[in-house]
Every structure is written in C-alpha cells, then in structure tokens.
A and B are shown apart, each in its own frame.
Chain A
C-alpha cells in the first residue's frame, strides 16, 4: 500500500524547535518530490515547503522561510521538516504529501499536484 505517515508533533514553547518526520512506504521514495502542507485549527490549507527528489532543491512559503528546513533521507525513505523559532501562528496539523509526478533522472511524468497524503501530525505552540 502506498502511504506516508507523519510523526514528531507535540507541544513546544514559543521560540522553540521541533522536527517532524514522514515515513514513506509502498513506492520508490527517491523518484518523487515531497511536500509539507499545514492547517491551523479551523482554517484552510497552507503550503509550507517542497523538496526535490534528490534534495538539491527546496522551496518555502514566505511565512516559514528562514525558520524551517525541509530535508530527506532517501536511504531511509523519510522526509523531514526542522522547525525553529516557532510562533503561535505555526500551530497546526502538518501534512506530508507526495508529489504526483514520477521522476527518473531529469525527466518527470504525469501532472502536478499532491496525490498521496498522510493523516497529519499536530504541532501545538504554547507556553
């Protein structure tokens, strides 16, 4: 079964740090870009970050740039999000999602989008 499972959420004080993980299974992890998306309580979806298949290229939402770092370990089929200088507005459910396109070498196939999502992990920022 193709799936991604997030972990690492929890309670952290303002200004603190936290690392989220996303374990992938059922597909060749190294052939897919990966994303993080978050959703604050009662709010809509917010794009957070993207990492390319080999980890060389990363993108961030303006709201997290300079504070969050996305990374991946293809040998462990795991995606990470290192979060620092956390603020109350970072409190959310964080979802890991697979990019829809299959990439082999410099060629990618299929349409854009996020086609496999995890169940989310909750980050609470509070003193």
Chain B
C-alpha cells in the first residue's frame, strides 16, 4: 500500500497566520490526493480534491498544490474555526491511505 507521510504532526499558530501542511507519498500518485478537516467529535469534511480543486462550500482561504509525490495544503489566513486536525488521503489506487494527520492548535 502507498504510504502517506504528513508534516508537521502538529503546529501552533495565531489567527491571521498563513499555515502550510505537507504530505508526501511513497510513490507517484499524480494529483490523486485530497485534504480533509476534522474537528473533535465530528466527522471529517472534504476541503480539497484532485490536489488543488476546492470542494464546494469550502472557504477560499484553503488551497492545495502539488503533484507526483509532494503536496501542500495552505490556509492563507487562519481563522478561529480552522483549529482542527487535517488529513491527506491518496485516492490514486486501492487501498486508499490517509496521512497520520496534522493538528493545528492555537498559539
């Protein structure tokens, strides 16, 4: 199975900060990568699909980039409601695999 490695595992940031999370695949996955946000006790929510396409309803401050093995999720200006855990998911081939998650905390 393809391994997905996210970094950092956690970060502290302030409201208004620009935040970047990275995800690396163990092999080329083209642009078959999504980003999900999960808040405590809640189901995950799809933010980005196909590496850089914004899911309907997701705020435009979220953006994704990358292809091949290296991918990035960027939050342009962190808002209070963005404090959560973020996961990447490769949907290039089965079994799909998630990264281990990045917890974004308040500084």
| Chain A residues within CB distance 8 Å of chain B | 35, 37, 44-47, 50, 59-62, 95, 100, 111-115, 117-120
Contacts and interface: CB of A to CB of B under 8 A. Distances in A.
A113 B101 contact: no
A59 B91 CA distance: 12
A81 to B, nearest CB: 15
Contacts of B50: 111-112
A60 B43 contact: no
Given A44-B101, A45-B36, A112-B34, A117 B43 contact: yes
A47 B34 contact: no
B62 to A, nearest CB: 14
Given A112-B50, A113-B91, A47 B45 contact: no
A60 B95 contact: yes
Contact of A47 (B32, B38, B46, B96): B96
